[in-house]
Each structure stands twice: as structure tokens, then as C-alpha cells.
Amino acid sequence: MIMCSFVLLLLLVGGVEKAYASEKKNIYIGLHDKMLPFTTGEAFIIDNQAVAPAEKLSRYLYIKQTVQKADEVYIFEKNGQQLTVNIKTKEASLNGKPAGSAAIHKENGQFYIGIRWIAQQFGFQVDYLSKNHTVRLYTKAGAKLSNEEFLKANQSFFDRLNSPQPAKGPIAYVTFDDGPSQQSASILNILASHRVKATFFYIEANIHRYQAAAKRAAAEGHYLALHSVTHKVNPLYNSPQSFMNEMEKTNRTLKSVTGRSSVLVRAPFGSSPYLKQPFCDAMSKRGYRLWDWDIDSEDWRYNTSSKARILQNIQAGIKMQKKRGDQHVVILLHEKKITAEMLPQILQFLTKEGYRLQTYDPSAHVVQNFWNDKRL
């Protein structure tokens, strides 16, 4: 009898392992003492290796990535090390010397790289914390915590994953474009007094100009996102490259001023018609997400005497979204004086209609773009 159970157990374990080998298994990534903002499903184990989108992972590891020969050769550089990967042949070389076969994976036009493989090439230590499905990358200089302390320090990250959000009704995301601005302080005051977290799409020069506002918004738990450098059709939409350059420049400024970088972009004037397929491909490749909106308050149209229209537009929009059964409503506002003046009424209205007002959360991403591109 004991013998029989033992054999049965072996069979079961064998079966489970086999299933894992071909199935995707989600993982998370930690760098030094913190978890990186990879959302569920972004990084995973497939064929017994943990992989992540190459561009996004390199960005977090401060590895510069460039692409040559029509997407065939990827070059990764950091601290004078140069790693070259041919994604057709899988051949890799480190500083010109053959470095064996690269750990790579391609899926839906995305290029994934073996996390352990690339991290080790650039001198990171790698631990797999299997209980938390987490790959931790670190250097002696960069990490202060032991693995046990690391898990403790990041407990809130894992708690959030494990506790399924109780569905207490639909969510509304209040978003503000074109800031930070002179109006930021009053907008932030109103949000704070209503205990609402919002999402801000910043223009690069404004981050420089209104640094205190950007820092305050970050400190108060709002999500800061990217809205370009020039905000002009030409040059912004000249090419996918010009578009990405503007967003990444904005991201660098955001990081230098607030210490935070962003994965979320709002295309000026909306993603349709300018943000055609090659633009979306470029964004997806670099791990960015794109948000348009459900409800346009059209606040940019109005002045002091007509500002009540902002609320009316939102009320009409909410009526429509309720009919559609949309559980995630994104509302477009701008950092304008009349918008700030109408904001208390807008927040009261949304709350009264049963909406939970939340900020953008990369780990609970909602697809919200005019192309309905699920990658973004």
C-alpha cells in the first residue's frame, strides 16, 4: 500500500513538471532591493527559462539596447561591455568574442530575453525565489538586503497580487493632460481633500518648469505619465523614432526630477489618426502602454462663463458608459483653471454614481486605446 502511494506520487509530480515545461508560468522581477513594475504575464517561464521583454528589462538594468540590420542584431551595452545577439541564429558574442547561444524567445512580434542569461553577462547575481515566483537580480554594491529581508521589504507588492480586488463597482480614472502647470497646486489640493489619486500626462518642458508640482504629485501617490516634448503633429509624428524619442526624453526628465519613470503614454490629440501601426509596434516593443480616453470633458473649449459644460459632458459620457457596461472609465481633463474650479463637482458626481476613483496602476493595466491594440 505504501509502495503504491509512492509510485502514484512520483507519477503525479512527473506529470506536473511536464505540464510546466510547455506552459507559461508567470514570474516577477526584483532589482537589488526593490520589485520592478512588470505586470502579471509580462515576464514568464517558458521552456524552463525565465524571460522578459528585452527592451524593458534592459532599460531597468541601465543597459543600452540598439538594433541593427533590420531587427536581426541586438546590441546591449553597459560599462564598456558589449553583448551582441543575432536573433535569427541565436549566436551571441561578448566584446567581439563568441559567447555561445543566446537565451531568447519571440512571441507576438516581441523579443524576449533570458533574464538570468543577460543579467549574468553584465555581472549581476541572480537568485530565484521560487516561493514568490520572483527572479532577483542584484550586485553586492547595489543590494543591502538578504533575500529574506528583500521579500519582507516588498511584502506589499506580493500582498497586492494575492488579494483579488473586491469588485465594489466600476472604476473611473481621472486624468489630466499638458501639465505640470500653474494649476497643479490647486488640482492636487482638491484631489487630496477628496482622497482621490489621479493620473497626470506631462509635457517635458513643463516638468522642468514646475518641478515642485511634479515632485508633489509623485509623493502624493498619483501616477505620472508621458505626453511628449513638442506636442506638435510635426515633428512628433514624423516617424515612430521621433515619437519614441520624445516620449523617452520626457521619461528621462521625469526620472531625474521625480525619481520615477513611467510606462504609460498619452499621444497628443489622441492615438487616432496619427499613431499608426508602426508607431504602436515601436511602443509595444519598448514595453510602453498607451491610454486614450472614454470621456472627453472638452474642457479646453470653455471659459469661465461656460465652464459648467465640463461637468455636463462628463455626466453625458457616464450615462453612455453605464449603458455600455464599461467597468473602467477613463476621463480626459486638462490642467486649466476652470477645470480646477469644476473639479470638486466632478469628483462628487463620479462618487455619487458609484465609481471608485483610482490612479493608473501598471500592475492592473486596462487596455484603453482607440485602436483597441491589446499589446498597449
Which residues are near Zn ion by CB under 5 A?
177-178, 268
Query: From the CB of 57, what's the least distance to Zn ion, in Å?
Result: 30
**Of residues 315, 72, 6, 36, the one with CA closest to residue 172:** 315
**Strand 49-53 vs strand 110-114: parallel, antiparallel, or unpaired?**
antiparallel
CB nearer Zn ion, residue 177 or residue 299: 177
What is the total residue count of the chain?
376
Closest to Zn ion by CB, 228 vs 359, is 228
Which residue of the chain is nearest Zn ion when measured via CB? 177
C-alpha distances in angstroms, 27 versus 43, 71, 109, 130, 238?
6, 27, 20, 9, 37
User: Which among 327, 331, 226, 243 has a CA at the least distance from the CA of 281?
Assistant: 243
Cα 187 from Cα 263, distance rounded (Å): 23
Q: Tally Cβ neighbours within 10 Å of residue 341.
A: 15
d(CA 359, CA 376): 17
Q: How far is CA 260 from CA 141, 175, 211, 253, in A?
A: 21, 18, 13, 9
Residue 219 CA from chain centroid, whole number: 18
Q: Which is nearer to Zn ion, 38 or 201 (CB)?
A: 201
Nearest approach in angstroms of CB 156 to Zn ion is: 33
**In the complex, least distance from residue 301 CB atom to Zn ion, rounded to whole angstroms:** 14
Give the distance between the most distant pair of CA atoms in the chain.
Answer: 86
Of the two residues 270 and 362, which places its CB atom closer to Zn ion in the complex?
Answer: 270
We find the least distance from the C-beta atom of residue 121 to Zn ion, in angstroms, to be 40
Distance CA 160, CA 363 (A): 9
C-alpha span between 202 and 193 (Å, rounded): 22
- To Zn ion, the closest distance from the beta carbon of 242 in angstroms equals 17
CB nearer to Zn ion: give 178 or 294: 178
CB of 201 to Zn ion, least distance (A): 7
Closest to Zn ion by CB, 178 vs 204, is 178
Nearer to Zn ion, 268 or 287 (CB): 268
What kind and span of H or E run contains 126? strand 125-129
Least distance in angstroms from the C-beta of 230 to Zn ion = 11
